[in-house]
């Protein structure tokens, strides 16, 4: 079953901010958002979930990151 989650621009920017803060002060931020909004009137998530941001070099150990058409500007 494919679950649906919604992350707002604010959610994404918050994760990036937490990641940046963690680089400057390791251990200050867990770089994680917990979303529990399964009852939102127009964009409910189908499950309660946790999203954790990690650095590219920690994730992409066996391949280059992403697809070229999706590269950030």
User: How much is the pLDDT for 22?
Assistant: 83
Taking residues 61-71, report their average pLDDT.
78
User: How much is the pLDDT for 73?
Assistant: 64
Label each residue of 26-69 as H, E or C.
CCCCCCEEEECCCCCCCCCCCCCEEEECCCHHHHCCCCCCCCHH
What are the boundaries of each domain within the chain? 1-54
Q: Is the pTM of this model over 0.95?
A: no
Q: What is the pLDDT of residues 11-64, one digit of tens each?
A: 999 999 988 888 888 776 788 888 899 999 999 988 998 898 888 888 889 988
Taking residues 65-70, report their average pLDDT.
73
């Amino acid at each position: 079953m494919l679950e649906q989650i919604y992350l707002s621009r604010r959610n994404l920017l918050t994760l990036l901010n937490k990641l940046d803060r963690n680089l400057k002060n390791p251990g200050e931020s867990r770089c994680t958002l917990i979303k529990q909004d399964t009852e939102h009137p127009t964009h409910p998530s189908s499950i309660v979930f946790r999203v954790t941001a990690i650095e590219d070099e920690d994730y992409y150990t066996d391949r280059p990151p992403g697809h070229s058409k999706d590269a950030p500007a």
